Structure 1
Amino acid sequence: TKAAATLGLAQPALSAQLRRIEKALGGTLFERDHTGARATPLGELVLERARVVLPAVSELQAEAVRFANATGPLERFR
């Protein structure tokens, strides 16, 4: 519930997204019980990789925008 609120999502929507991600990755990201949730070893791995990948994606996006603005619109191929 706290994670959903932090992300601005309803709890069922967050749970559904998490299930889809876990299915795509082939394993559980969090162990859940009455005290809360803790990352599994797979969850720790995903978090470690995300900390590298997400900033790189943001940097790529910013570079692409700068490149597009510097070169102007691309001509269409004939």
Structure 2
Amino acid sequence: MKILVRNLERTVTEAELLKLFQQYGTVETCQLVLDAETGKSKGFAFVEMPHGREAVKAIKGLNTLRLHGTGIRVKQAEDKPQA
């Protein structure tokens, strides 16, 4: 299941996110979205977990968690409509 993590402080690292989500199970990918020009975080990330049950627990457990002083938002990512 692909998970969207929003409202991240720009100082949060992929390693920190990975560690948070690994508490709930296997993480296939963890990708912090970076600005192409500056290389800095855009404040959101995508995490992919193979097992739906673990992903749901991660979403429930981490949504609104305060990370670096800011409450993060965690939900299932929605597929982009094909153009």
Structure 1 length normalisation: TM-score?
0.29
Larger helix proportion of the pair: 1
Which structure has the bigger radius of gyration? 1
Structure 2 length normalisation: TM-score?
0.29
- Greater RCO (Cα-Cα under 8 Å, separation 6 or more): 2
